[in-house]
Structure 1
Amino acid sequence: MGSHCIDCAKAARPDVKTRAKYWNAGQPALVTRVIIAINLAVFSFVTISDPSSLSGGGSLTKAQFDLGLNSFFLRDGRNEWYRLITSGFLHFGIIHVAFNMFMLFQLGNLLERPLGRLRFSMLYGACLLGGSFGVIVADANAIAGGASGAVFGLMAAAAVSLQRQGVNVFSTGLGTTLLLNIFITFAIPGISKGGHIGGAVAGAICGFIMLAPRWKSVPKWAAYATPAAVAFVSVVGSYLMAARGG
């Protein structure tokens, strides 16, 4: 039978903040899974309403028309601003949704744990709205949809974070993935260039602050204010661009 020094045990025990950090690191990426579930639920709804949407080809279905983003729906008295968000959960075909959900799963598992659920949610929302702003700026005449703007934002945020920590993004494979996706964006017709670039810019701005290295002096509140500001600017910018006719 041994004995323990109570004071020694208390001294060796991590403080509350450290324990909370370790607890959070061991949790599943819940927000990521919820976002994926919402995307799949919307895709299932669209598919059930019109099975032809499963292939991603042909004309738009009514559900896709009702949820997709186009500057026309934001002006001329329609004011359907919900499309800035709903379009980010709409997909055109099984390949489209499968690729985006795979990337979201990978990036969400990478980013949600270090950020925490609230800040990751804010990052994702800012990237989604940044992508929608990009659609209004560059692809205003098309019905756009998909999580790829937000996914591009997560990729950009992760890449900026690694660079700030002195890690070569190409040594991790993330840089190659990002460049490949940029190439595909401009090489294949029918892909929203504005949505992808808008999301990437939003993610890079947020990642620069939210995922700053520990040795960089960044106020804690900035990790919340930055995505909120990016989201606000994206919504206001979308309004102004739509008001002038896209």
Structure 2
Amino acid sequence: MFSSLNTIFSLRNFDMQSTKVLNKLLKEAPKNTKGSKEIAELRELIIELMKPRLGKLRQILKIRMVPATRDEFQDESEDWWPDYELCSDWHAITDINGLLVCTQDALKGMPDDLKFIGEKFDFAYSVAKPETIQNKTKNYILVDELIEDMEDFVTNFSRLCSKNLDERRNLYDLASFTMDTADRIKVKIFDERVFVQLQSRIANLRNYIRDFCTLFDTQVESKEEAESVPTDKLEKPQGTLATEDVDKARA
């Protein structure tokens, strides 16, 4: 389980609004007073780096996996496989291989962005904190840990994509070589599992980023954008696979 969940829950257990958490971390300062410039720059940086990231994640979350059907005019002798399609208005993705590559592209550079935000946060805190506070507060430590956890999550997520790409390539190459139904079913089962896995992790990452940005009172997603992501992205195929074929594929 992603450890920053515990960090977020710890922040919420303080029973305060996100803006109150922010006020304890970075005390609000009138314009042109101590820390006001650094706090404003931090918020601007978060919006600049995280808003485009959320846009890419939303587009990936809109992708749906739908069963494909043979066109009645298609040549019956023509090989027809795989029997699903990925529907996207944003990217010309046709299969899980393309979705994995697209996900890696969306994650690329994000750990560095988060690290940069962490450095800016530390600097803004050191400038804006009241002189009476000598040590870093518990809330500061929690947010600092949250940033590190998000970095780790994104790094491990990208590695998982690479692992899935390698495994999928091996399964696909074997199925293409043998043309065996069982080998093809293995690819289909793998693709469906990875699709659900990717969508779940991307949805979690999107929520983590939104919660993180809320802590700093930054608007990175409009209400319309937040509501634009569908909930049902995996449509059930029409018909079922033969039981003996599925059992053979899973053996």
Using the size of structure 2 for normalisation, the TM-score is 0.27
More helix by share: 1
Larger Rg: 2
Return the structure number with greater relative CO, CA threshold 8 A, min gap 6: 2
